[in-house]
Amino acid sequence: MLLEIRFTDPKFARYLESTVSGRDLVAFTFESSRDMNLFLQKVRVELGLKRVNAICSQGGPVDRPQNNIQQLSYLGFYTYLVDTITAPDAIVRYLCKQYAVHRIPIGNDHTYRNSENVPANINFFFTENHRFSVRVSAYSGEKSVSTTEVREAKLMANTVDVEEIGNFNKQLSLFEQQSQGHKAKMQEIDKKLLTLEGNLNELNTRRKAINEGVEKVRTILAQIRVQTKKVQDIESEPTFDIQQERDRTRKKQKECVLKQCKIHADLKNSMATLYTETMNGEVWKAKLEFYRNGIVQQETELRELRNELRSVQATLENIENQLIRSKSNAKEKLVEAKRSCNNKLPDDEGFPYKEDFEVLPADITRLQEHCYELQTRVDCMDQGDEQVIKEYEEREKLISKLKSEVSNSSDMNKILAKKMETIQSKWLPPLENLLRDIDKSFGDMFSKLGCAGEIKLEKGGSDEDYDKYGIAILVRFRASEQLQQLTRHAQSGGERALSTALYLMALQRLTTVPFRCVDEINQGMDPINERKMFELLVKVTTECDNAQYFLLTPKLLTNLEYNSKIMIHTIMNGQKIMRYNKWNYDAFLQKAHHYRMA
């Protein structure tokens, strides 16, 4: 039964397993009682499998009672158990008949807190983590409620959607094809990168020359100001011919102005060129960062290949040890053979079995086959039974088949390991890049507060143990301390609230939106951390190219720093609040003025 049941969400498996007995879950389901009896006769009587269970249930569409779960939504119920599964009609009919899964609702924690308000006609239901069973005494009529904790599913914990696996395999094949194309593009981009890096060096040289030209222009402007001062001093001297000096000075001034205009035009062109080259430089920097990430990925693959090399070296060492042992065994066999032949070898004179030895094959493989053949003849001479020969041939076929299966299994393991490495290389580097961006934003905001913060990927052991992956948040609020992981024991409540708020703000900076809304982010903070948080929020939100922030809060500290980009709206609402069209603004302003003067 459990092989045919699918769930709309895997979390519902533990509810069904807590309702249906394990004997029924592993039972075989039949639509014909004759087939069931024949099956039980075969497995229980003939095969002796007494623990095999079977059930019989009619097929065809299931007539489910129409129970509207919306009528129980006020108690937190959101579905019936039968609506969480998909299975053949015979299985669904059996579960409805034997366990009434169509009348078992599933609720949440709100249901657990209001379990005493559940209607009397519901005598079996689930909350998020508990199972409630209501029984009424046939004698006294009193109601008793038993509550048990719902354990995690065991038998149905690993239900597999075959169709989904097929889709994933198709996607995997498509991704592998795309990967080949991307690798070719990467090689082309690497070639372009080398060329562009050369162009970047050339542009840096040109930018340096432009900067030198700008410095020369500034020097000339300073010289012009000095010469102008000299002209003014000369004009103030009464001993010179004022008119003559004025004409000469005007002529020089005109020349200097024309020269200055030319220099300004050159400076304008130089600045435009500098801006263009600077923008191109930033583009190349971004591309360089992208390729550096690719290098990091290649280094990761290199480390994996080195690990494989160490494994191969270990295998080679084992083979060498086996070779040494084989040589030692060969020497012992040689001594034993010489002892059997009067301490003589086939090449020695007086070898007693020289004629028989010359007839034997010289190839080791053929010699082993000849040995096997002689051994088989000896075995047949003892019994003379053809059954032994037949059994020998069958065992040879079985050994060949098992060797083939072992070889295929080893190849499949290698293919799966390679696919795991390929899939990991697709999602792990982008995840690490994302965490680096979050860490940079998180650390920048902490540094503005005079503190330190860090975000990193916590692997918790082996790189393949993905269940232990997590995000570690490290903070430091005092210069005398080291970076510590954010926990309820190491930091105060205000520090934890501030760290959480800054982490959320760091996540928000990764997405581009027109505005953001922050609701009561300062709740739970002490005044010191609340002031730090507000000052940082002002700095972050009023920078260029940032989204507009709406901060909703029931209170604000006094003497906070604001700037021209902040607008405060005070919401006045309630039954006893004066309507806005009756406000006396002049009276409000006078009271505020008197309050500030006091």
SS (H, E, C) 374-437: HHHHHHHHHHCCHHHHHHHHHHHHHHHHHHHHHHHHHHHHHHHHHHHHHHHHHHHHHHHHHHHH
Q: Please tell me whether residue 526 adopts helix, strand or coil conformation.
A: coil
So what's the pLDDT on residue 105?
93
Distance (Å, whole) CA 497 – CA 541: 19
Cβ atoms 19, 99 nearer than 8 A: yes
Q: In the chain, where are the structural domains located?
A: 6-149, 162-331, 430-597
Q: How big is the CA angle at 436 (ends 434 and 438), to the nearest 5 degrees?
A: 70
In DSSP terms, 132 is beta-bridged to 125, 147
Neighbours of 265 (CB within 10 A): 10
Rounded Cα gap, residues 525 and 520, in angstroms = 10
**In Å, how far are 135, 137, 148, 193 from 142, measured between CA atoms?**
8, 5, 20, 83
| CA nearest to 30, candidates 96, 90, 85 | 90
Q: What is the pTM of this model?
A: 0.33
Which fold would CATH assign to domain 430-597?
Answer: Rossmann fold (3.40.50)
C-alpha to C-alpha distance for 500 and 296, rounded to whole angstroms = 31
> pLDDT value at position 231?
83
Angular region, 512: left φ>0, alpha ψ -120 to 50, beta rest: beta
Answer whether 534's CB lies under 8 Å from 560's CB: yes
Return d(Cα 301, Cα 426) in angstroms, integer.
12
pLDDT along the chain (598 residues), means of 10: 85 90 89 90 88 85 73 89 89 89 91 88 90 82 85 77 72 87 88 89 90 90 88 69 79 88 89 89 87 85 84 82 82 78 76 74 76 73 62 79 75 79 85 88 84 86 77 86 82 81 81 81 77 80 76 81 83 77 84 82
- Token digits for 356? 């028989």
Longest Cα separation, the chain = 149
CB 253 within 8 A of CB 225: no
Q: Cα-atom radius of gyration of the chain, to the nearest Å? A: 43
What is the per-residue pLDDT for 38? 92
